[in-house]
Amino acid sequence: MTTHGPVLPVWSCGGCGLPWPCPTRQCELRAEYADVPVSLALYLAAQFVDAARDLAHVPAGHPHHRFVGRAR
Interval 32-70: pLDDT, tens:
999 999 999 999 999 999 999 999 999 978 999 999 886
36: burial class by Cβ within 10 Å (0-12, 13-18, 19+)? exposed
Q: So what's the pLDDT on residue 39?
A: 96
Q: So what's the pLDDT on residue 72?
A: 60
Give the Cα separation of 35 and 56 in Å (integer). 33
Q: Nearest 5 degrees, angle CA 17-CA 21-CA 32?
A: 125
